[in-house]
Amino acid sequence: MSDMTSATDPAWSLVQLKPNGLNTALRNLGRQGFEVFVPRHSVTRRVGGRFRDRLEPLFPGYIFVEVGRAASPWRKINSTLGVARLVQFGSGGPAIVASALVEGLMARCNGDGVLEPISEIAPGDMVRISRGPFADFVAKVETIDKDRRVWMLLDLMGRQTRIAVSARDVSAA
What's the distance, CA 162 to chain centroid? 30
Range among 2-6, 34-38, 101-105, 136-140 with highest mean pLDDT value: 34-38
Confidence of residue 65 (pLDDT cuts 50, 70, 90): very high
Q: Is 173 a residue whose pLDDT tops 90?
A: no
- 47 burial (CB, 10 Å; 0-12 / 13-18 / 19+) is exposed
Cα–Cα distance, 130 to 117 (Å, whole number)? 10
Q: Is the predicted pLDDT of residue 170 greater than 90, yes or no?
A: no
* pLDDT number for residue 29: 93
pLDDT band at 13 (very low <50, low <70, confident <90, very high): very high
**3-state secondary structure at position 155:** strand
Please tell me the predicted confidence (pLDDT) of residue 14.
93
Domains with residue ranges and CATH for the chain: 12-118 (3.30.70.940)
Q: What is the pLDDT of residue 22?
A: 95
Average pLDDT, the chain: 84
Residue 106 contacts by C-beta under 8 Å, 6 or more apart in sequence? Answer: 37, 39
Q: Does residue 22 or residue 88 have the better pLDDT? A: 22
Q: What's the order of all strands across the beta sheet hosting 149-156?
A: 159-166, 149-156, 138-144, 126-129, 170-172
